[in-house]
């Protein structure tokens, strides 16, 4: 691989982590009227201070639970001898990765604050009272289920029902390491299923992996999404998923409407 490709590997990882930290203080604002009012007075949203995150507050520059996942996966890959320049297949130490995730988010971590200790299930948010925002990191649903499954020594540690966007975040360091290698998609699938063991997350995560790999290998050029649509439509594609055709259809709709305002389009395109 050329040095430019290696630079783009690094840029993918660093860019994802910096973007997560930049967006963390504005994370999870679902009241768009309130958000629009705030942004009318403070149009710069990156690293906004003070935090306007309605659920949790952390020091500016801290990673969210998504960024901490990505960093933990990155560190585990490095600690377990992942290398980009090997001529041979790069192994993925799943046991070490499970332990690293448990150490980052488990009962002895910063994530074991009073609220996270109480809220074990998604339903608890509506049945138990607390004061928002909490002071400290937020352990969200997929991670909660991973911790339970890991503690119970289940063969599958991933949630069969959590369909949040973790799948697209978790694959970034994996794609950065494996881009251009035939095992990239299979490694990405393993890492997605570690916390989200369901077909929706795998299909979306592997589509994101294909898009990112295209950008790492080809640089700043058009065609990443279109190339991914073509791959997802190929009967001989690597790591085929039953939902690939549906994901390709949604990507086609995104390309068709890319000149339209983001919010109306995002509200109208729903995956069920």
Q: Calculate the average pLDDT of the chain.
A: 89
Mean pLDDT across 28-39 = 89
SS3 content of the chain, % helix, strand, coil (to 5): 55, 0, 40
pLDDT score for 87: 44
Contact 41, 94 (CB under 8 A): no
Least confident residue range of 76-85, 132-141, 150-159: 76-85
Name residues whose C-beta falls within 8 Å of residue 67's C-beta, 6 or more positions apart in sequence: 16, 17, 20, 21, 24, 169
CA nearest neighbour of 205 among 181, 177, 228: 228
3-state secondary structure of 212: helix
pLDDT tops 70 at residue 175: yes
pLDDT tops 70 at residue 82: no
pLDDT tops 80 at residue 109: yes
Mean pLDDT across 163-179 = 95
pLDDT tops 80 at residue 35: yes
Q: What CATH number corresponds to the domain at position 168? A: 1.10.4080.10
% of the chain exceeding 90 in pLDDT: 71
Mean pLDDT across 16-37 = 93
Look up the pTM and report it.
Answer: 0.90
Rama region for 189: left / alpha / beta (φ>0; ψ in -120 to 50; rest): alpha
pLDDT score for 102: 97
3-state secondary structure of 187: helix
pLDDT tens, position by position, 217-271: 999 888 999 999 999 999 999 999 999 999 999 999 999 999 999 888 888 876 5
pLDDT tops 90 at residue 127: no
Torsion angle of alpha carbons 138, 142, 145, 149, nearest 10°? Answer: -120
* Phi (first) and psi of residue 57, to 5 degrees: -130, 135
Contact 228, 210 (CB under 8 A): yes
Determine the structural domain holding residue 86 and report its residue range: 3-268
Q: How many domains does the chain have?
A: 1
pLDDT tops 70 at residue 81: no
Rama region for 180: left / alpha / beta (φ>0; ψ in -120 to 50; rest): left
Mean pLDDT across 53-81 = 93
pLDDT band with cut points at 50, 70 and 90 for residue 101: very high
Mean pLDDT across 97-123 = 82
pLDDT score for 32: 87
pLDDT score for 132: 83
């Amino acid at each position: 691989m050329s040095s430019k490709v290696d630079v783009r590997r690094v840029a993918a990882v660093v860019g994802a982590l910096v973007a997560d930290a930049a967006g963390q203080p504005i994370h999870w604002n679902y009241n768009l009227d309130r958000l629009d009012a705030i942004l009318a007075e403070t149009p710069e949203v990156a690293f906004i201070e003070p935090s306007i995150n309605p659920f949790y507050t952390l020091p500016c520059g801290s990673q969210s639970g998504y960024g901490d996942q990505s960093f933990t996966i990155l560190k585990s890959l490095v600690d377990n001898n992942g290398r980009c320049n090997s001529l041979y297949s790069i192994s993925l130490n799943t046991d070490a990765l499970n332990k690293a995730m448990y150490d980052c988010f488990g009962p002895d971590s910063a994530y074991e604050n009073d609220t996270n200790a109480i809220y074990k299930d998604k339903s608890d948010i509506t049945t138990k009272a607390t004061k928002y925002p909490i002071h400290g990191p937020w352990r969200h649903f997929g991670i909660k289920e991973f911790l339970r499954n890991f503690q119970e020594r289940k063969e599958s540690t991933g949630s069969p029902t959590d369909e949040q966007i973790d799948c697209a975040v978790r694959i970034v360091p994996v794609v950065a390491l494996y881009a251009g290698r035939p095992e990239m998609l299979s490694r990405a699938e393993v890492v997605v299923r570690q916390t989200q063991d369901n077909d929706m997350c795998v299909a979306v995560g592997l589509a994101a992996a294909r898009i990112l790999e295209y950008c790492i290998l080809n640089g700043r050029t058009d065609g990443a999404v279109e190339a991914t649509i073509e791959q997802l439509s190929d009967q001989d594609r690597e790591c085929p998923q039953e939902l690939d055709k549906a994901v390709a259809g949604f990507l086609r709709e995104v390309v068709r409407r890319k000149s339209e305002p983001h919010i109306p389009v995002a509200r109208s395109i729903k995956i069920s």
